[in-house]
Structure 1
């Protein structure tokens, strides 16, 4: 049994949550993946997984083994990536985690341009708005928006993220234009679930408001005249430029946030990660195109 292949099979099962999905990811049969894991358990003399008909669960020994196995596999991938870089350039799979709304609106052209420059690098893009643990989840790079706190991770600022208050012209004509955020008590407010921790602004939820964890949905609701919204310009900039939304209370804009690329600190940064960081670093700039409505 190839120890590395068995290790990869085990980590894939843990990551995917089932033998069948791990087999699809590795392009192997479920039977072979199961055999790899069983023989790995036999060689180690411990049970790594508890299996049910629907899910697999890590044992205590499996949890400890998985942490070390993932690090070993990362080191092997990094070494092979750097060795391959000497002869053929950067290559391999690059796992990226990124926020949903920003990615659906702005990330695809960047990824296409990056792959034209580095055709041997594959992209595995995972979209979610939660804060992923890039080390535990095997992510190479996480794109994050906000005011980052200090940590052991490395963060590179990519672009400013401006927040604006806005509403549809029709809504403002019917309900008036508030002069200060405190005046929102007399308006319908479309609140993004995660916004308060970033801006420091909070409102009390009332009947008639809308609360949602997706900024695009709130922006569309604002365009339809549902109320006032505070959203980043990478979501609402196009609607503002088209006259579908109007900026209000500009003197009360929250301090800009930032778009960051976050990655684990390693002595030997994989060439695929280094190439992507260098590429994206100057892609958007300090005056990103989505702010061109001014």
Structure 2
């Protein structure tokens, strides 16, 4: 039985947390994946996994083997990709994590263009606004929005992300348009719960003090929901133009206090530092670089 295949089966079982999910990932039957892992344990003379009805637990030997096996498989995949580059064709499955609102609005076009240019690369896209651990969770690239802190990861800036404060004409007609920060604090603010840490400053501090109207309030971790609430006249919202741009262009939202807009954030492609970068990753990074430009189309719409 092939050593690399048994090693890959074991590493995938650990990363997926079950034989069934590992089998789906590898396009094999759960029985064959289990046979691979059992064969690996027999060959090594060590139990690598303790199996219960609900969970899998790595033994001490399994923990040590998994760490080294994962590294070897990554290096082997990278080597294959490097050699594959000589033929001019990137191959393999590219796993990408991306923020929900940005991806659903603006990634389909990019991914379609990328796969037309690189038909040998498959895409496994997961939408999640949390900051995933790309190494632990097995992603090749994570797209992130914010002001990135120092880390061991490599970050490539893709595009600026401009934030605008806006409200619907109906809300402005009922409640008025704030002329300054003091007046802004008296308005109803539709707050994006994940923005505070990435957007410090006087505007954010003022918005955090905004008073609820008639005892109501709105906090949400999805910008598209907040933008729709704003178009329905339910308050003032601070959102990126990649979400609010079309509503602004259509007159459903109006920009308020543009002189107080925060410094633009950034859209970044984040990936793990490796000596050998897989061709599928390198091709995607080269493709996305400059795709949206310094003045993205969503800003032009807004």
Give the TM-score, by structure 1 length: 0.94
CA offsets 1:188-207 (integer angstroms, 9 cap, x no match): 11111111111112414854
Stretch deviating more after TM superposition (61-70 or 226-235): 61-70
Map 1:1-294 onto structure 2 (within 5 A): 1-200=1-200, 201-202=204-205, 203-204=208-209, 207-294=215-302
Mapped contact 1:167–1:247 kept (Cα < 8 A): yes
Residue 182 of structure 1: how far off its partner (Å)? 4.2
Query: Equivalent residue of 1:190, what SS?
Result: strand
Residue 4 of structure 1: how far off its partner (Å)? 1.2
Query: Equivalent residue of 1:135, what SS?
Result: coil
CA offsets 1:6-40 (integer angstroms, 9 cap, x no match): 11111221222211121121111111111111222
Query: Equivalent residue of 1:186, what SS?
Result: coil
CA change 1:71–1:284 in 2 (3 A) is same
Residue 84 of structure 1: how far off its partner (Å)? 1.5
Q: Distance in 2 between matches of 1:19 and 1:56?
A: 9
Query: Equivalent residue of 2:185, what SS?
Result: helix
Q: Distance in 2 between matches of 1:64 and 1:225?
A: 57
CA offsets 1:136-169 (integer angstroms, 9 cap, x no match): 2222111111111222222111110000001111
CA change 1:77–1:185 in 2 (3 A) is same
Mapped contact 1:97–1:132 kept (Cα < 8 A): yes
**Structure 1: any 5+ residue segments left out of the alignment?**
none
Q: Distance in 2 between matches of 1:222 and 1:159?
A: 25
CA offsets 1:172-220 (integer angstroms, 9 cap, x no match): 1111111234434322111111111111124148541211111111111
Mapped contact 1:161–1:257 kept (Cα < 8 A): yes
Give the ranges of 4+ consecutive aligned residues of structure 1 lying more than 4 Å apart after TM superposition: 204-207
Q: Distance in 2 between matches of 1:248 and 1:45?
A: 68
Residue 61 of structure 1: how far off its partner (Å)? 3.5
Give the TM-score, by structure 2 length: 0.92
Q: Distance in 1 between matches of 2:11 and 2:274?
A: 21
CA offsets 1:266-291 (integer angstroms, 9 cap, x no match): 22222211111111001000000001
Query: Equivalent residue of 1:277, what SS?
Result: helix
Q: Distance in 2 between matches of 1:236 and 1:161?
A: 12
Mapped contact 1:167–1:246 kept (Cα < 8 A): yes
CA change 1:181–1:47 in 2 (3 A) is farther
The alignment yields a C-alpha RMSD, in angstroms, of 1.7
CA change 1:45–1:283 in 2 (3 A) is same
**Structure 2: any 5+ residue segments left out of the alignment?**
none
Residue 131 of structure 1: how far off its partner (Å)? 1.2
Query: Equivalent residue of 1:278, what SS?
Result: helix
